[in-house]
Structure 1
Amino acid sequence: MIDNDQADEDRQILAHMIDAVEGAGAVLLARFSRDSRVADRETLLAAIDANDEAATSVLRPALERARPSARWDDDEEGAGPLGVGEWWVTDAAEGNVNHIHGSAGWAVTATLMRDDVPVLTAVHVPLTGETYSAAQGRGAFLDARPIAVSVKSDLSAALVATGQAKPGEAEEVRRMLARSIDAMLDRALLVASAVPATLQLLPVATGHTDAFWQFGQVRSGLVAGALLVREAGGVTLDAHGAPWTLRSDAFIATTPGLAPAVIAALSSAA
């Protein structure tokens, strides 16, 4: 239960978070070109680092001013619990690889965690100008308009999506992903695979896609979308149907009506 003082404080923090992700997004947008291409791995990594540095230089100071007591999660590919207290989990250039290739599918994310639970989040998509936000127990919004997951309960009519958690996944994770895609191709209407995770979870939260799953975990790619989906009326589960946490090794976000069928499909691939 969140008391009134905490709720008022959280509203103020969330307003600052929205300003922060939009400010960092403006930096990335100014650096973006649809003509951008990279020729080799060295150039790719240098471009990724440059984007991260430019956007983080705006995002991090703004968030630290909004909540100076919260610790900072410095590991962009980190997984597992962070521990008690408040933490900032962010990605200043989520989908960075898409940005540097001149493609859509990139954003800025910021999530405030309390005792390993996401409680506030803001996601800005600079190419569309959209900003998504959510506060635990108070709903999810797109540019201040409430959003909701789809009402589907038939997997054969569902649009579903997945993707890699990160480059260089372990062999068993790769094999599970391949088997799960095959299982979903047998059961769902359409199956998509793309990165980053956040950009696949936004359509789940708004009801344009019906489910997303991922094996493995990168905290910064899941916590923002997890809170948005839950506050939009969806569920986030592990592959066994238990509530998803930072200790889970698989992630499912879907509608309550589709959850049993999605879990059954993924269990057949495990």
Structure 2
Amino acid sequence: MSETLQTTAIETSDADLLSQTAIAVRTAGSALRARFGEVTPYQTRDELMRALAANDDTALAILRPALAALRPQAGWVEDELDGGALPPGEWWVVDPAEGNVNHLHALPEWAVTATLVRENRPVLTVVHLPLTGETYTALTGAGAHLDGRPLRVSRTTDLGLSIVATSQARPDEDETVVRRVGSAITAMLLDALVVRTSVPATLHLVNVAAGRIDAFWQFAGARADLLPGALLVTEAGGRISDAEGRPWTPQSSSFLAAAPGVHTEAASTLSR
């Protein structure tokens, strides 16, 4: 088979895989939506962790068998807070309840995500927001979409006119990272128009891909909260790097996604 035919076959296969992945993610989202409503009470860390695990288990009971059937040879990332490079081959990187703590607090900012990573590069991703019914998808080389409509990052060229956002990567973060986050927020408050701070990262990143906000950054982080948005933003025409403007990989200690017109200025602000 010629190289052209091989490439076409892979693209067709991946496009179909994206469609089937979206079905699985939406189904898991429906199960989580059925659990959403009242604030979930907890008094101890153990009670909190059990409540978080109950949501994860609900979604994973649907996602794991469905995605394993689609790609039996792919590995599965067990810990959604893991970072760093993956071993060779294909891997499913899944966050069964992205923004899980928001779900427990009856806040609307949560999602279900699934990303297929091939040789440490995201190939396809699905981000579903069960409360709105929105599904964001991206396929390498085929663009980013919201419910089938193409997404494009903003055309803003002035950080001073930009809405930017950041997120807390995980609870109990190292003090050095926490202080770096605080300094970066202060710098952005001086240079940008508006700074938004909330969790989870993925919901900021879909807004960057859709052109609603102009830049997002985060220090530290996990594959599951950055890979879906990284592919969405890249396929929507945005730029991805670390906070200093260097190439980003899952091993990087920081992350920046921005519209091309403000990326350099945002990196400069974060490097101060």
What's the TM-score, normalizing by structure 1?
Answer: 0.97
- Matching of residue 101 in structure 1 with residue 91 in structure 2: no
CA distance in 2, matches of 1:85, 1:40: 42
Moved beyond 6 Å, runs of 4+: none
Secondary structure at the residue paired with 1:257? helix
Secondary structure at the residue paired with 1:258? helix
Which residue of structure 1 lines up, in the alignment, with residue 39 of structure 2? 36
Secondary structure at the residue paired with 1:119? strand
- Matching of residue 188 in structure 1 with residue 192 in structure 2: yes
Deviation per residue, 1:120-153 (Å, 9 max, x gap): 0001000000000000011000000101110001
CA distance in 1, matches of 2:40, 2:53: 15
Name the stretch that deviates more: 77-86 or 239-248: 239-248
Equivalent of 1:252 in 253, 256, 265: 256
Aligned pairs for 1:124-135 within 5 A: 124-135=128-139
CA distance in 2, matches of 1:188, 1:40: 39
- Matching of residue 21 in structure 1 with residue 18 in structure 2: no
1:257: how far off?
Answer: 0.9
Query: How well do the aligned residues superpose, as a CA RMSD in angstroms?
Result: 1.1
Equivalent of 2:168 in 164, 167, 175: 164
Equivalent of 2:49 in 45, 49, 62: 45
Equivalent of 1:220 in 220, 224, 248: 224
Aligned residues: 267
1:74: how far off?
Answer: 0.5
Which residue of structure 2 lines up, in the alignment, with residue 174 of structure 1? 178
1:191: how far off?
Answer: 0.4
CA distance in 1, matches of 2:141, 2:43: 46
CA distance in 2, matches of 1:85, 1:79: 17
- Matching of residue 63 in structure 1 with residue 67 in structure 2: yes
Letter in 2 for 1:40: Q
- Give ranges in structure 1 of 5+ residues lacking alignment: none
Letter in 2 for 1:50: A
Secondary structure at the residue paired with 2:19? helix
Secondary structure at the residue paired with 1:16? helix
- Give ranges in structure 2 of 5+ residues lacking alignment: none
CA distance in 2, matches of 1:86, 1:37: 36
Equivalent of 1:232 in 221, 233, 236: 236
Deviation per residue, 1:198-250 (Å, 9 max, x gap): 01111101011110000002110000000000000001101221221112110
Letter in 1 for 2:41: V
Deviation per residue, 1:46-78 (Å, 9 max, x gap): 211100001100011111111111100101110
Letter in 2 for 1:92: P
Aligned pairs for 1:201-212 within 5 A: 201-212=205-216
Secondary structure at the residue paired with 1:160? strand
CA distance in 2, matches of 1:264, 1:71: 38
Secondary structure at the residue paired with 1:141? strand
CA distance in 2, matches of 1:200, 1:240: 19
